[in-house]
């Protein structure tokens, strides 16, 4: 019986337990990540394909765990959502971006726009709009230089979503729909919600040159955006032929490894920032 017990234990202590103890390790670490200064923002430039200039940058979280090394946001953001930690992490992101923009302004760089990802839980958080407003006011930044990226999944409750989006528009920030086309919402929401930009999900972009369905979907999204007077950007653009495709189809903005990976602040400043000419 003792043998059996041990082998059963061994059986259960395989993948599932390893998985959950790994998650617990991550959760404990994530709780302390902010105070221990382990979070960092990288910035990925977004290009205007006509002028060939950077129009803005998306802020993307990086977490350097003291023993596990870099952990991808694809891994820790869902955990942060489940545990509610996303609220303090998300606030840290907004604080940090606003402080940086203030600093960059003071250093004499040309005005810079930043895209900030908002998770569903964060978007539904009471006090979000006031928190954003306070950050804008205390850092004296132009609200239009912030663009909040929301997925369709965050916009499920139409009534509440409309109210919050209108409040955000009153503050003066911009709104984009992230991973557009991958959600299940009805399209009618784009008509009703005060949205500025559609971000074409990279899953449609990847094979756009070889897969007719992806080509049809991306072309339709571009046409939809144009017809509604919205801005549109292709995500995950990795080669020149894709750039040509989007340009030809009238999608004038793109973001992806073809142009640049997300980079730490120092490199973004070196490579892209320009001083204002007096
Ligand atoms: P996302 O918002 O859709 O961000 C785009 C992701 O695609 C980023 O992954 C970016 O590094 C990656 N990417 C950019 N260009 C290319 C390309 O050409 N090819 C490929 N294969 N990938 C490309 P990352 O940085 O790992 O972030 C993953 C996700 O984590 C983000 O997806 C977003 O949902 C979430 N995330 C990141 N930072 C934050 C944050 O501050 N707050 C919240 N709530 N979520 C965040
Ligand atoms: Ca995004
Ligand atoms: Ca995206
Ligand atoms: Ca995504």
The tokens describing 221, both together, are 């999204």
Each residue's pLDDT, cut to its tens digit, for the chain (278 residues) gives 455 555 555 555 667 777 788 888 899 999 999 999 999 999 999 999 999 999 999 999 999 999 999 999 999 999 999 999 999 999 999 999 999 999 999 999 999 999 999 999 999 999 999 999 999 999 999 999 999 999 999 998 999 999 999 999 999 999 999 999 998 777 888 889 999 999 999 999 999 999 999 999 999 999 999 999 999 999 999 999 999 999 999 999 999 999 999 999 999 999 999 999 87
pTM: predicted TM-score of the whole model, two decimal places: 0.94
Instruction: Tell me what pLDDT residue 21 has.
Output: 85
The tokens describing 124, both together, are 């539904």
The Cα 256–Cα 234 span in angstroms is: 8
CA–centroid distance, 261 to ligand 2, in Å, is: 14
Query: DSSP 3-state assignment of 152?
Result: helix
Q: Whose CA is nearest to atom 12 of ligand 1?
A: 236
The Cα 256–Cα 239 span in angstroms is: 9
Q: Whose CA is nearest to atom 32 of ligand 1?
A: 74
Query: DSSP 3-state assignment of 260?
Result: coil
Q: Whose CA is nearest to atom 42 of ligand 1?
A: 117
The Cα 263–Cα 37 span in angstroms is: 18
Please give all residues whose beta carbon lies within 6 A of any atom in ligand 1, as ranges: 44, 59-61, 72-74, 77, 90, 93, 117-119, 178-179, 202, 236-238, 256-257, 262
DSSP class per residue in 56-84 = EEEEEEEEEETTTEEE-HHHHHHHHHHHS
The Cα 116–Cα 61 span in angstroms is: 10
Q: Which residues are within 8 A (CB) of 173 and not within 5 positions of it... i.e. 6 or more apart?
A: 132, 136, 143, 144, 146, 147, 148
């Amino acid at each position: 019986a003792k043998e059996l017990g041990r082998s059963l234990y061994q059986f259960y202590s395989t993948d599932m337990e390893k998985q959950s103890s790994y998650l617990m390790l991550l959760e404990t670490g994530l709780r302390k990540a902010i105070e221990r200064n382990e979070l960092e923002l990288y910035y990925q430039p977004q290009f205007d394909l006509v002028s060939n200039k950077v129009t803005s940058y998306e802020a993307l979280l990086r977490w350097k765990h003291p023993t596990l090394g870099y952990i991808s946001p694809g891994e820790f953001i869902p955990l942060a959502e489940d545990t509610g930690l996303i609220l303090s992490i998300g606030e840290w992101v907004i604080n940090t971006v606003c402080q940086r923009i203030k600093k960059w302004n003071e250093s004499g760089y040309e005005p810079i726009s930043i895209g900030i990802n908002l998770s569903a839980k964060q978007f539904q958080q009471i006090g979000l709009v006031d928190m954003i407003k306070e950050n804008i006011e205390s850092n004296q930044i132009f609200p239009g230089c912030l663009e909040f990226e929301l997925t369709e999944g965050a916009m499920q409750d139409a009534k509440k979503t409309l109210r919050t989006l209108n409040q955000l528009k009153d503050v003066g920030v911009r709104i984009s729909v992230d991973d557009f086309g991958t959600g299940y919402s009805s399209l009618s929401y784009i008509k009703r919600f005060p949205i500025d930009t559609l971000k074409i999900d990279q899953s449609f972009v990847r094979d756009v040159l070889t897969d007719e369905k992806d080509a049809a979907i991306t072309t339709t999204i571009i046409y939809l955006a144009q017809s509604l007077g919205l801005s549109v950007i292709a995500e995950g653009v990795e080669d020149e032929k894709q750039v040509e495709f989007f340009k030809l189809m009238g999608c004038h903005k793109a973001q992806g490894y073809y142009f640049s990976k997300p980079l730490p602040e120092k490199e973004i400043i070196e490579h892209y920032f320009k001083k204002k000419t007096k």
